[in-house]
Chain A
């Protein structure tokens, strides 16, 4: 598996330009770091003070609220595109997906 991943990575690196690879690294860093900011186990590893934890917690809450709001809007807009029959089918599809395993 590891070998396969390495091979794929090498192939991808042949396709992308150095600047694109760098951008990809930045994106990866940001997406990973965003989760880590608020992971309790990370707070100790990074050595956060209580004040920093409090600040980050506040930011997390703001962030979550905004995300949740956006997701609600998205869901609403998506559902408005569907017909009532399709909405019903979507519920069934979701159920199928959720009970697959």
Chain B
């Protein structure tokens, strides 16, 4: 592979449509790996011409697998949010309550956390019990399966509603309001760009265009922040550590 091409000026060649996917993947990777990441911090990446990271040098030295041998990274997020208390299990509609920074921002008390934990355990047990209805699914007729699925959906909707009511009792109104804001600014970001959601909201072509422009501008800014953070952090490592990091990354991507 031409090292001169690798070192300089290649970064912008990545197809634009990929860049957004990379941002999404970056966010998930960061969320999945880092245990104390904020709820609102998605890191993308973009290398600027001239930044010349060591990966290029290492590739030139034959330490990095070539493009032909390399496998693309799995585009599936790993299930591993930075959970403050592992005992606090996911609650439908309130997954974010498990996140350390969200808990901090809401100023959750220990008592509230204990109550939420209890609620999550109870919900989890109910869900497990609900799954029992599929025990003999192989013996079921298609009609029976459809009926069971409908029953399951209905039960799930009820559970969600019950959880909501319970959480609203546990949290203070101010905390609920703050949580809504957090959810809006974190999830709204993604939901707003989903074609189905756009349709449901009845966005006009002008609005879609405006959103696309905002997204692109912000994407560039986020990439720049991420790039600088990466460079600074990478510079903290010694050469051997950088190589070990590369090895670890490669292990995960192959």
Chain A contact residues, CB within 8 Å of chain B = 5-6, 8-9, 12-13, 16-40, 42, 45-48, 52, 55-56, 59-60, 62-64, 66-68, 70-79, 81-82, 86, 89-91, 93-95, 97-99, 101
How many angstroms between the C-alpha atoms of A79 and B14 in the bound complex?
A: 30
B200 touching A67 by the CB < 8 A rule? Answer: no
How many angstroms between the C-alpha atoms of A68 and B221 in the bound complex?
A: 12
B29 CB–A CB distance under 8 Å? yes
B26 touching A93 by the CB < 8 A rule? Answer: no
29 residue pairs of the A-B complex, CB under 8 angstroms, read A22-B1, A26-B53, A28-B253, A29-B55, A31-B29, A32-B253, A34-B45, A35-B29, A36-B245, A36-B248, A38-B37, A56-B233, A66-B225, A67-B225, A70-B221, A71-B186, A72-B185, A74-B214, A74-B215, A75-B188, A82-B203, A89-B200, A93-B201, A94-B187, A94-B188, A95-B93, A97-B197, A99-B92, A99-B93
B202 touching A56 by the CB < 8 A rule? Answer: no
Q: Which residues of B contact A27 (CB under 8 A)?
A: 11, 14, 22, 45-47
Contacts A21-B67, A32-B253 given: A78-B188 contact, CB under 8 Å?
A: yes
Q: Which residues of B contact A68 (CB under 8 A)?
A: 38, 40-41
- Bitwise interface map of B from 211 to 239 toward A, beta carbon under 8 Å scored 1, else 0: 10011001001100111011011101100
How many angstroms between the C-alpha atoms of A26 and B226 in the bound complex?
A: 14
B214 touching A63 by the CB < 8 A rule? Answer: no
Residue from B41, B45, B95 within 8 A of A30 (CB atoms): B45
Q: Which residues of B contact A28 (CB under 8 A)?
A: 72-73, 249, 253
B185 touching A33 by the CB < 8 A rule? Answer: no
Give the 7 A-B residue pairs with the shortest CB-CB distance, closest first: A21-B67, A35-B33, A75-B185, A67-B41, A63-B229, A31-B26, A30-B45
Chain B contact residues, CB within 8 Å of chain A = 1-2, 5-6, 10-11, 13-15, 18, 22, 25-26, 29-30, 32-38, 40-47, 53, 55-56, 59, 64, 67-68, 70-74, 92-95, 160, 180, 183-189, 191-192, 197, 200-203, 207, 210-211, 214-215, 218, 221-222, 225-227, 229-230, 232-234, 236-237, 240-241, 244-246, 248-249, 252-253
A30 touching B53 by the CB < 8 A rule? Answer: yes
Q: Which residues of A contact B207 (CB under 8 A)?
A: 81-82
How many angstroms between the C-alpha atoms of A66 and B223 in the bound complex?
A: 11
Q: Which residues of A contact B249 (CB under 8 A)?
A: 28-29, 32-33, 36
A55 touching B236 by the CB < 8 A rule? Answer: yes
A47 touching B244 by the CB < 8 A rule? Answer: yes
How many angstroms between the C-alpha atoms of A13 and B70 in the bound complex?
A: 10
Q: Which residues of B contact A47 (CB under 8 A)?
A: 240-241, 244
Q: Which residues of A contact B13 (CB under 8 A)?
A: 17, 19-20, 23
Residue of A nearest to B161 (CB): A99
A18 touching B229 by the CB < 8 A rule? Answer: no
B47 touching A78 by the CB < 8 A rule? Answer: no
A98 touching B233 by the CB < 8 A rule? Answer: no
Q: Which residues of A contact B197 (CB under 8 A)?
A: 90, 93, 97
